[in-house]
Every structure is written in C-alpha cells, then in structure tokens.
Amino acid sequence: MSAIVAIVGRPNVGKSTFFNRLIQRREAIVDAVSGVTRDRHYGKSDWNGKEFSIIDTGGYVQGSDDVFEQEIDKQVELAIDEADAIIFMVDVESGITGMDEDVANLLRRVKKPVFLAVNKVDNAKRAEDAVEFYALGLGEYFTLSSVNGSGTGDLLDALVEVLPEKEKEEADLPRFAVVGRPNAGKSSFINALIGEDRYIVTNIAGTTRDSIDTRYNRFGFEFNLVDTAGIRRKSKVKEDLEFYSVMRSVRAIEHCDVCLVMFDATRGFDGQVENIFWLAQRNNKGIVILVNKWDLIEEKETNTMKQYTERIKKAMEPFVDVPILFISALTKQRIYKAIETAVEVYKNRSKKIKTRKLNDVMLPIIERTPPPAYKDKYVKIKYITQLPTNYPQFAFFCNLPQYVREPYKRFLENKLRENFDFNGVPVTIYMRKK
C-alpha cells in the first residue's frame, strides 16, 4: 500500500491549489472518472521516486463558522488516524487565527510527522512575516506558494524522507476485492461464502467502514477476499467517515488483482456502478460483474437475463469482454460460480503467451486485414511480443506506428481476445517503431 498524506487546515488557505499541484504530476484517479470522489479530494503523487496517496480534507468542510470549527476538528482527527504524515497549511496573509490555534493544539499531541506549511509566501516581505507561525509550537515551518509552486520542493523533500516504505504484500496472495455501492450486498456475499457472520450485515447503508481481508481457499486456489466500504457519490458523503471509506474503497481497487463489481439488480447498472467499473478498468484490474439480489426480480421472462446483460454491455462499450453473473447472496445462488469466474479472470490477467505463438497466430490475421492506408502511407506490422508486465500488454512493431488509428487497435485487441481468452481483463496495445 502506498503511504497516505493528509492536507489539513481551515478553509481558504490554499489546500486545494496545493493538492492540485501535487497530483498533476500524474493523472489522479479522480480525474479519470468523474463521480467516484466527485471533486478532486483523493489523488496520487510521487516525489523522488516515492509514491504516496494524498487527501485534501478541505472539500469536505461546509457550513457556518462555528460548524466549520467542529468540522475541521473532526477532519483533523480523522486525518490523524488515517494518514502516515500530515501537512498543516496556514496562510501568511491572514496570520494566525483562532481556528489555526485549535488545529495546532490537536496536532501537537500527535505521534505522526506534522509539516507546517505557510502558504502564499511569494516575496521576501512575506517570508519575514511567516516568522509569527513559530508561535503555534510546531517547530520549523516551510514557506511556499501553492499558486506558483515556489518552496514546494523543499517541503516534499522533507515529507518523503519520513514516509514508510511500501509494505510487502503477505505471501503475495492474489487479492479479490468486492466493490460497489453501499447496500449492494457485499458483506452478505462474503458471509455466504465463508459460512460465518464474519461481517455484521444490516440494511443500513455503509455499515462496513473499512476494507477487510479474509484468506479464502476454493477450487484449490488460495487468495485474499477484500470487502470494501461501499463507494457512494460525493453528494451522499455526509459524514466524514464516509469520505475515508470512499478513499479506502478506491485504494482497495488500486491494490487488488480482480474486482468483483457488485450491484443490486433492483437498482440497475447505474452511473455510480459504471464509474466503479471504469475505475477498475483504468487501473487494469481483472473484472467480474455480479448482479446481486436476482431473486428479488419479479416476472422473469425467458429472456430477462439476456436483455439485462445487453443493457450492461451497452454501458460498458467498447470493453464488453467481461463476465456477468446473476447471483443472490441470500439464497447462495451462483456465489461459488462467482468465485470460480474470478479465479479464471485472475489466470487470464497473469497469462503469458510465447512470442512465437503470438506471431504464428496474429501475423496471418494482419496479412489478411492490414491496417488501412493513411495519407497514402502503408503500415507493415512485422513482429509482436507481450511485454513483461503484470497484466496483458502487447507491442506491435511496425514501420509507421503513428499511422495506426484507434479502430485498428481495437480490431487487433478483439483478435487477441478471440484467440487467447482475455475474458474480464483490460488489454493494452502499443505500436512501436521497428
């Protein structure tokens, strides 16, 4: 797991600007998919080769000034529990305020590294004014300007020094994460599998606050089963705990091998479930779609399942090569089939195809259907190899890689899927210069 850094402080000191500056180094997950954490409050950054997750607590504080103060205290307490290091941001323009002092009081008792960042310091006069922040009793401070980036390097140098090294995954067991909206039946599904009420199951949405791992052995295959807190839209993230649950769910997706994306059949494959699906796809995870509570669908016709499947596939286009299972955690209908399918998807994701076989199968297909000419230039694909990564990526070597358009890459991907079975797994294709 990557380390977590939380940015805390009262409103309008520039936390979000600083956060955006940190995550623009790489595409933050929350940029790629609108709606998982609707605004940009969770992202990833790296500095000097060390990667960390970053939380901007600012966007979750709303209300009048007195509510603000309670909210900020809660935010800081949660950040203290959740984060490996804390950046406490203050603003040189307004100097020390009562709210800053309250936050400092909380942080002085903390056993974790705290970095005091004095923002909006963009000239020598302001650098002198920053001296007053010694009075907060947090020791040395860093002066910076979130807007133009000056001073952020020194802060990040000090920050990554204290972050813990990445933990080694225990025995590198494959991780299957059960993800979805709250109340989709994730905990009931895991209880049904392991045959004990390991998780409290109630029908109050969001009972599962944390991601919980269970070692599980089935079909002669051992893996960790991860139950995540339900991911829900930001407008529904009322209490701060939900905010951290969202963050942990996103992190569970990042750190698993296969996502079992579960939703309630009576609610359908809505925008929120779609976002979770695309989040897993963009992170190149194996995916199995589980339509839970199928026993509650009344008036099933012979083709109800087929129509339902078609609707889901329409929403998933162009990545439709994904297993879809109709289950009931309550009646245990097809729950073991779900795990068996997840194991198959895991094997598909780790599949390695010998270069010779790849070329023997794909080159004749390419010869019969070569890439269309572009600007009177003809592309000749000479050789194909699978890259040594932990999910399927292929390099096609050719004379003019820049002239191979997206539709042809999709054609190649479909042919790879037809011949080598990558069901449930995103496949990436690169065109390389021979």
Q: Is 231 annotated as a binding residue?
A: yes
**Annotated binding residue 56:** yes
Q: Is 230 annotated as contributing to ligand binding?
A: yes
The answer on whether 337 is annotated among ligand-binding residues is no
9 labelled as ligand-binding? yes
Cβ atoms of residues 276 and 231 within 8 Å: yes
Cis preceding linkage at 392, omega within 30: no
Distance CA 283, CA 278 (A): 8
In angstroms, how far is CA 243 from the centroid of its own chain? 14
| Residue 348, marked binder | no
Determine whether the annotation assigns residue 63 to a binding site: no
Question: Does 29 appear as a known binding residue?
Answer: no
Q: Known binder of ligand: residue 426?
A: no
Is position 227 annotated in a ligand binding site?
yes
134 marked among binding-site residues: no
304 is in an annotated binding site: no
Annotated binding residue at 328? no
Is 292 labelled a binding residue? Answer: yes
Is 293 annotated among the ligand-binding residues? yes
Q: Does 47 carry a binding-site annotation?
A: no
12 marked as binding residue: yes
195 among the known binding-site residues? no
Ligand-binding site membership of 31 (annotated): no
275 is in an annotated binding site: no
> Does 16 appear as a known binding residue?
yes
185 annotated as a binding-site residue: yes
174 annotated as belonging to a binding site for a ligand: no
Asked whether residue 95 is marked as a ligand-binding residue, the answer is no
Establish whether 338 is an annotated binding residue. no
Query: Has 14 been labeled as part of a binding site?
Result: yes
Asked if residue 153 belongs to a known ligand binding site, the reply is: no
Any binding-site annotation on 158?
A: no
Q: Is 119 a known ligand-binding residue?
A: yes
Is residue 434 part of an annotated ligand binding site?
Answer: no
Q: Known binding site: residues?
A: 9-16, 56-60, 119-122, 180-187, 227-231, 292-295
Q: Known binding site for GTP: residues?
A: 9-16, 56-60, 119-122, 180-187, 227-231, 292-295
